[in-house]
C-alpha cells in the first residue's frame, strides 16, 4: 500500500496532554506508510503527553506545530484522537472548534475515535448523523441529535461531508482502513 495516499494531506489534532497514545500514533504512522502527508497539530506547539487507557503515562510526542498555525484549506482529512482529557480540552479550544467548522464547511471528511467525537458534539455538526464513539459518549451524541451505533467503524456521508468514527483503540485497524478508503475515493 505504499504510495496509495500520495499527495493526500491529513491533520491530526490533539491537546498537549491526555491523548490516547495509540489513537494518535497508529493513524499517524499507518497513513504515512500509505503515502499521506500527515501533520500533528497540538493546542500548543509543545510536547504532547500521551496515555494508555487515560491513566497510564505513555510516550511524549513532539507535534509538527500548533493548531493556530493550521491552514484549513490545506486539509484533505481531519483526525481527532480520543483520550478523555484530550477530548475535553479540545472541545473547549476555539481553534479546534473553528477548524472543525472550516473542514466541514469545505466538505472535507473528519475521522474521530473514542472520545474524539466530543469535539464534534461541541461544534454542533453531528445532528442527523449516525456515528459511534466510546460508549460513555452515547448520551451526549444522542442529545446532540445523532444516532449512536455500537460498531467498530461507522461512515456517514450525509450533509455534504464524510464522518468516520470508531469506538476505541481495538478498532484502529478498521478506523485506519476506513480513512484510507475515504482518501482513496477523493
Cα 65 versus chain centre, distance: 16
Strand runs labelled E in the chain: 9-14, 17-20, 37-42, 48-52, 56-61, 65-66, 77-80, 110-113, 130-131, 147-148, 154-156, 163-166
Q: Which of 8, 133, 27 is nearest to 77 (CA)?
A: 8
**What are the start-end ranges of the H helices in 3-161?**
21-33, 84-91, 94-105, 117-122, 138-143
Cα(63)–Cα(59) distance, rounded to whole angstroms? Answer: 12
Verify whether residue 101 is a known catalytic residue.
Answer: no
Q: Which of 6, 17, 3, 29 is nearest to 173 (CA)?
A: 29
With vertex at residue 112, the alpha carbon angle to CA 158 and CA 146, rounded to the nearest 5 degrees, is: 45
Give the number of other CB atoms < 10 A from CB of residue 60. Answer: 11
Residues tagged active-site: 115
Amino acid at each position: 500500500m505504499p504510495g496509495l495516499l500520495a499527495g493526500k494531506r491529513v491533520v491530526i489534532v490533539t491537546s498537549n496532554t491526555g491523548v490516547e497514545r495509540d489513537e494518535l500514533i497508529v493513524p499517524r504512522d499507518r497513513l504515512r506508510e500509505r503515502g499521506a502527508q500527515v501533520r500533528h497539530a497540538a493546542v500548543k506547539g509543545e510536547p504532547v503527553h500521551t496515555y494508555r487507557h487515560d491513566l497510564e503515562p505513555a510516550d511524549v510526542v513532539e507535534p509538527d506545530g500548533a493548531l493556530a498555525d493550521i491552514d484549513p484549506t490545506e486539509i484533505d482529512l481531519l483526525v481527532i484522537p480520543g483520550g478523555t482529557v484530550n477530548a475535553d480540552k479540545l472541545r473547549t479550544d476555539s481553534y479546534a472548534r473553528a477548524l472543525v467548522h472550516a473542514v466541514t464547511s469545505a466538505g472535507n471528511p473528519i475521522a474521530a475515535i473514542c472520545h474524539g467525537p466530543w469535539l464534534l458534539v461541541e461544534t454542533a455538526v453531528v445532528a442527523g448523523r449516525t456515528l459511534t464513539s466510546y460508549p460513555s459518549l452515547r448520551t451526549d451524541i444522542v442529545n446532540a441529535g445523532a444516532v449512536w451505533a455500537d460498531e467498530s467503524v461507522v461512515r456517514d456521508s450525509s450533509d455534504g461531508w464524510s464522518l468516520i468514527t470508531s469506538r476505541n483503540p481495538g478498532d484502529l485497524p478498521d478506523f485506519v482502513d476506513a480513512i484510507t478508503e475515504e482518501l482513496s475515493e477523493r
